[in-house]
């Protein structure tokens, strides 16, 4: 299992690397749960990160996606050319599985036609009923049908409630097992604290994503990423 740390700028990226993160996730929380950062910031962080730690992988989100396949395909291509290893899409305003598959197919084609080594992350929301998007149980099948590489769950509304407020451990175990049965990697995120992560480790997700827990004051918007908190969390995972 690997830890994905979400950062918003160069300073935070360096702190995350110094803390030992394996996957550096670039986003802009001001634009939403999976808010997109600017391509020049993504490219700049990626280039400097690889100078500091050659093995670190770069993830970036293209935003909380509406049902606009063409728009999201263009955004995905912009992300891909910015030197990333993962392109992440949040299915925020897709209300049916067919809409979600259409968006994700367009994204996968845009990404893979440019660089087949870049992995596509199909992200859904555990609190989907609050944003009227596709249910979390549908995400693995959407990822399979659209030839994505990773199925992920997060929370769409950032109000302090975590992934585990909306889904049970049994449901999350089923999600992870379904991903693995179909050759997908699984990722879990959503305002996770240490106590939540300890409960998720036995489910064996491939990736756990965090931000607020490694920020000062646990504030994903106004806090600053702390390298010591990253290091502590990585050690917690490694020792379990």
Q: What are the b/e assignments for 40-69, b being 16+ CB within 10 Å? A: ebbbbbbeebbeebeebbbbbbbbbbebbb
Question: Can you read off the two tokens belonging to residue 131?
Answer: 């944003």
Does the pLDDT of residue 153 top 80, yes or no? yes
Name the average pLDDT for the chain. Answer: 96
Banded pLDDT at 173 (limits 50, 70, 90): very high
Q: What is the pLDDT of residue 94?
A: 94
Sequence-distant (≥ 6) Cβ neighbours of residue 137 within 8 angstroms: 171, 175
What mean pLDDT do residues 55-83 have? 96
What mean pLDDT do residues 188-196 have? 97
Q: What is the pLDDT of residue 240?
A: 75
4 phi/psi in degrees, rounded to 5: -105, 125
Q: What is the pLDDT of residue 239?
A: 83
Given the residues 43, 88, 112, 229, the one annotated as active site: 88
- Rounded to 5°, the CA angle 159-165-170 comes to 150
pLDDT in tens, 209-219: 999 999 998 99
Q: What is the pLDDT of residue 179?
A: 98
What mean pLDDT do residues 55-74 have? 96
| Share above pLDDT 70 across residues of the chain, in percent, rounded to a whole number | 100
| Share above pLDDT 90 across residues of the chain, in percent, rounded to a whole number | 95
What mean pLDDT do residues 213-235 have? 93
Answer for the pair 63, 29: CB distance below 8 angstroms, yes or no. no
pLDDT in tens, 30-43: 999 999 999 999 99
Tokens 């998720």 appear where? Answer: 200
Instruction: Give the H/E segment covering residue 150.
Output: strand 150-154
Whether residue 228 lies in the annotated active site:
no
Question: Can you read off the two tokens belonging to residue 39?
Answer: 């391509």
The domain made up of 2-238 is a member of CATH 3.20.20.380? yes
Whether residue 27 lies in the annotated active site:
yes
Q: What is the pLDDT of residue 31?
A: 94
Nearest CA to 154 out of 96, 216, 208, 234 is that of 208
Instruction: Give the H/E segment covering residue 234.
Output: helix 227-238
Sequence-distant (≥ 6) Cβ neighbours of residue 216 within 8 angstroms: 223, 224, 226
pLDDT in tens, 129-140: 999 999 999 999
């Amino acid at each position: 299992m690997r830890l994905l740390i979400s950062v918003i700028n160069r300073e935070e990226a360096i702190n995350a690397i110094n803390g030992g993160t394996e996957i550096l996730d670039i986003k802009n929380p001001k634009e939403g749960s999976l808010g997109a950062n600017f391509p020049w910031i993504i490219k700049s962080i990626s280039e400097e990160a690889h100078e500091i730690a050659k093995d670190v992988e770069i993830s970036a989100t293209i935003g909380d996606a509406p049902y606009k396949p063409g728009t999201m395909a263009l955004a995905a291509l912009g992300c891909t050319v910015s030197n990333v290893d993962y392109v992440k899409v949040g299915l925020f305003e897709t209300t049916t599985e067919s809409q979600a598959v259409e968006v994700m197919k367009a994204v996968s084609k845009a990404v893979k036609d440019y660089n087949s080594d870049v992995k596509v992350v199909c992200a859904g929301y555990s609190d989907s009923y609050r944003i009227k998007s596709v249910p979390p149980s549908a995400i693995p099948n959407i990822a399979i049908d659209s030839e994505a590489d990773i199925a992920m769950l997060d929370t769409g509304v950032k109000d302090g409630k975590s992934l585990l407020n909306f889904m049970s451990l049994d449901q999350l175990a089923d999600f992870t097992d379904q991903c693995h049965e179909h050759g997908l990697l699984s990722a879990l995120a959503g305002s996770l604290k240490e106590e939540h992560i300890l409960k998720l480790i036995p489910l064996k997700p491939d990736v756990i994503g965090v931000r607020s827990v490694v920020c000062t004051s646990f504030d994903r918007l106004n806090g600053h990423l702390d390298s010591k908190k990253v290091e502590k969390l990585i050690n917690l995972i490694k020792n379990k």
